[in-house]
Chains A and B, each alone.
Chain A
Amino acid sequence: MASTTSAPPPGMERDLGPTGEGGGGFQHGRPAPVSTFPAAVRPSQTGIWVALAAISMMFAALTSAMVIRQGAARDWGHFELPGILYFNTLILLLSSFSLEMARLPFAQDPDLGREESRGNGRRPAQVLYWLYATMGLGLIFVFGQLAAWRELAAQGLFLATTPSSSFFYVLTAVHGVHLLGGITGLAYVLHRMSRSTGSRPRTALGVASVYWHFMDGLWVYLILLMMTRMNVA
């Protein structure tokens, strides 16, 4: 039926790399890549999108819960969104801009901070400044959100006051916690960059910025959602 000398069917040997000479399927002593993919692809670059899928799903669930809850009874209770939220939105958009400014040197110099270029410790001061600026803007956003909470509380709108205020606090809190995660991520990138040797933050920075921009876009979605569903007309 089958023999060891017959030619493999077409496709059998497809996507095989160098297999070594009669090595029993193993390659000894050669630094073979661990991954099927080019070394430039790192698990964290895939993982971040997987994580974002889960986060999207969570906010989709909260959104549909909000829509259903709003239609379930006549107790929704519109209120005026605190004005500082629009300022916060601007701050967060600016932070995405400053993060891209931090990444600019990486885009201009393809070797900068690459994992393969060992000992490439160059870290232009510009990168550090923009990263600090991004984290600072992120923190201003978080404090701005806290200020918005205080403003609502001063009006007597607490977590359990109306369904609309419940969802307002839940959505902003869950987003805020995720944004703090983004700030932690940027802090990790800065930590990597400040190490004296072997600093290769290109991937980490790329992954952190994907997350950061997503949190930015997510907030734009949330503020539009709240403007249309919670704000008094």
Chain B
Amino acid sequence: MDSSPQAVAHHHAPPQGFIRKYLFSVDHKVIGKQYYGLALLAVCIGMVLSWLMRIHLGWATAHIPLLEKLSPAGAPGNVMTPEYYLSLMTMHATLMVFFVLTTAPFAGFGNYFLPIQVGADDMAFPRMNMMSFWVTFAAFVVLILSFFIGDGPALAGWTSYAPLSSVGAVAGPGQGTGQTLWALSIAIFCVGQLLGSLNFITTTLDLRTRGMSLARMPLSTWAWFVTSVIGLLAFAVLLPACGLLVLDRVAGTSFFNPAGLVVNDQALPHSGGSPLLWQHLFWFFGHPEVYIAILPGFGIISTILPVFARKRLLGSRAVIGCMVAIGFLSYMVWGHHMFVSGMNPFSALLFSVPTLIITIPATIVVLLWLGTLYGARMRLSTPALFCVGFISVFITGGLSGFFLAQPSLDTYLHATYFVVAHFHFVMAVAAMFGIFAGTYFWFPKMFGRMMNETLGKWHFWLTFVGVYSIFMPMHYLGLAGNVRRYAAFTDNYLAPLIPVHKFITIAALFTGAAQLLFLYNVIWSRFRGPKATDNPWEATTLEWSTSSPPPSDNFGGRHLVVHHGPEEYGVESSSGDYVMQVSPEKVAAS
């Protein structure tokens, strides 16, 4: 790849024509927006799926209009079958984990802002970057296809445990074409993420501008960098795992299919494959994936919080160290998802200890955020609210993690709504709050216009109250023994809990409706929002040293020289109480 100045200048002549400019663009900013747009589309579909599930959980006989049109077999008479409920659940989780929580904070914001924050004019391998988006898009199309062809979408959950996922159509609706498409989609997704991670790592290592030492990189860049290292190694394991799953399904191999299996009164010809092998391979990816979803949030919060607290982040070096430690430890804890899988109980202990150890760096980061907030005269704009909200939901979700990390407690709580509450708070909602904080913060840079503050604050408070209303009661459901993945609780011992489910459903619909405020705000502000200045938040990092939105080569042919770390807030300077990273102004350490 050429990177001599002349070659770069030539390479970055602004592209002409719609296709080169917006569709097959090699500009990391366009690719970042494409990823973000894909995530927005996926989150809308995923949210609608969750509404359908929630309505069914509260009112099992409710007729949901038009559902029969989507799937005549899955919802005869507009009432969904238990199998179709599981399909919707699988698709909800797959869309959310892969195409939202991985795509938006990591691939979306990371693509847009990592090169700018290190002062590069593009990613190290722009064409590979373009390929990574379109490969990811292809994975999305393949996944969505399963709604419309064959026997419907897969129903084995986003974890796709074998042998349900590996035996084929005999296992019921969705386990034919749907499950094959799922495995193919995830394999394709892995390729896209591997290409993306390769780009992130190389760009961070090689394309930093003058003076941008590793220690001066913004924490968001650090987070994307650590995340891409995790992703590089995690997706490299999921890819062959999905390959083996596809072979089990279409080529008759026995990697995961055990011997003597009888499914739906049919004896299957497989020899002694290991269903546990799939769980090990999946969770070796799956647990690091949780950190792929949340670490960019860590970085976004750590970057945004000081901007609105108008003071340095407490112990920013420690935050970097903690993120690296989390990345390292994330590879030693996968077995805590398998405490009740029939693993040797001693290995449960082996996985429990590092699981408790990994809470230490996470706790340190949270305490450093709280310490930063302490005594700060906050500017409570919408991004700041979402930062504080992130900390709140992350603590709430993290606390239930301590319970689940104990094998003895997990034996009871496993596969109950307690787990659903835990991971939605700590991973899903927290990461979403990170995405919202990032959106409100960077929107002016990405589109050159400010978002509406009033709508933003309404959006925050409604969402904040909403997510607690949805997920807090689930802890009690779980403690009461309410198992997850059941389509309805009408005729069993769980019937007395249905009123709680009805409350959660109403809260989910309410919170979902509140997201329309966000969608409206994004679309309205994109075209009608007040023009943004270059640095509306008075922040220090490099993206605020260029125009809003940045030119196609990011800095208009200038080569930036970095003089400061990203944390120069609460100082006295000619520009106010902050010093930008590119400012040659000398300030004493405060």
A interface residues (Cβ-Cβ under 8 A, vs B): 1-9, 12-17, 19-20, 22-28, 30-37, 39, 41-44, 46-47, 50-51, 53-55, 57-58, 61-62, 65, 68-69, 72-75, 115-116, 159-160, 162-163, 166, 170, 174
**B27 on interface, CB distance cutoff 8 Å:** no
**B392 on interface, CB distance cutoff 8 Å:** no
Please state if B588 and A1 are interface contacts (CB–CB under 8 Å).
yes
A68's closest neighbor in chain B, by CB?
Answer: B277
- Docked pose: A222 CA to B318 CA in angstroms: 41
Please state if B589 and A58 are interface contacts (CB–CB under 8 Å).
no
Nearest CB in chain B: distance from A228 CB, A? 20
Please state if B5 and A34 are interface contacts (CB–CB under 8 Å).
yes
Nearest CB in chain A: distance from B335 CB, A? 13
Nearest CB in chain A: distance from B15 CB, A? 20
**B206 on interface, CB distance cutoff 8 Å:** yes
Interface hits, B539-563 → A, CB 8 Å: 545, 555, 558-563
Nearest CB in chain A: distance from B448 CB, A? 21
Please state if A57 and B558 are interface contacts (CB–CB under 8 Å).
no
- Docked pose: A9 CA to B571 CA in angstroms: 15
Q: Which 8 A-B pairs have the closest CB atoms?
A: A73-B272, A25-B582, A43-B124, A72-B274, A57-B236, A160-B252, A32-B559, A61-B237
Q: Which B residues touch A35, using CB under 8 A?
A: 3, 206-208
- Docked pose: A37 CA to B253 CA in angstroms: 49
Central interface residue in B3, B203, B213, by most chain A CB within 10 Å? B3
> What 1/0 flags go to B317-360 for Cβ under 8 Å of A?
00000000000000000000000000000000000000000000
- Docked pose: A68 CA to B256 CA in angstroms: 11
Residue B563 contacts which of A19, A54, A166 (CB distance < 8 angstroms)? A19
> What 1/0 flags go to B420-436 for Cβ under 8 Å of A?
00000000000000000
> What 1/0 flags go to B565-590 for Cβ under 8 Å of A?
00000011110000010111111111
Give the size of the chain B interface in residues (CB under 8 angstroms): 77
Interface of A is mostly: loop
Q: Which A residues touch B3, using CB under 8 A?
A: 34-35, 42-43
Q: Which B residues touch A36, using CB under 8 A?
A: 208-213
Q: Which B residues touch A26, using CB under 8 A?
A: 555, 558-561, 582
Please state if B588 and A61 are interface contacts (CB–CB under 8 Å).
no
Residues A61 and B206 in contact in the complex (CB < 8 Å), given A26-B561, A43-B124, A72-B272: no
**B145 on interface, CB distance cutoff 8 Å:** no
What total count of A-B pairs have CB within 8 Å? 215
- Docked pose: A41 CA to B241 CA in angstroms: 35
- Docked pose: A35 CA to B209 CA in angstroms: 6
Please state if B255 and A65 are interface contacts (CB–CB under 8 Å).
yes
**B26 on interface, CB distance cutoff 8 Å:** no
Residues A9 and B254 in contact in the complex (CB < 8 Å), given A72-B273, A163-B271: no
Supply 28 A–B pairs (Cβ within 8 Å), ascending by A. A4-B585, A19-B563, A25-B582, A25-B583, A26-B561, A31-B5, A34-B8, A34-B209, A36-B210, A36-B212, A43-B1, A43-B3, A43-B124, A44-B1, A46-B124, A50-B232, A54-B233, A54-B235, A65-B277, A69-B274, A73-B274, A159-B247, A160-B253, A163-B253, A163-B272, A166-B247, A166-B253, A174-B243
Q: Which A residues touch B167, using CB under 8 A?
A: none
Central interface residue in B198, B237, B561, B571, by most chain A CB within 10 Å? B561
Q: Which A residues touch B203, using CB under 8 A?
A: 43
Nearest CB in chain B: distance from A208 CB, A? 13
Residue A53 contacts which of B233, B243, B251, B584 (CB distance < 8 angstroms)? B233
Q: Which A residues touch B584, using CB under 8 A?
A: 19, 22-25
Residue A54 contacts which of B207, B211, B236, B555 (CB distance < 8 angstroms)? B236
**B121 on interface, CB distance cutoff 8 Å:** yes
Q: Which A residues touch B247, using CB under 8 A?
A: 159, 166, 170
Please state if B574 and A4 are interface contacts (CB–CB under 8 Å).
yes
Nearest CB in chain B: distance from A202 CB, A? 13
Please state if B587 and A28 are interface contacts (CB–CB under 8 Å).
no
A55's closest neighbor in chain B, by CB?
Answer: B236
Interface hits, B264-287 → A, CB 8 Å: 271-274, 276-277, 280-281, 284
Q: Which B residues touch A65, using CB under 8 A?
A: 240-241, 244, 255, 277, 281
**B125 on interface, CB distance cutoff 8 Å:** yes
Nearest CB in chain B: distance from A198 CB, A? 10
Nearest CB in chain B: distance from A80 CB, A? 20
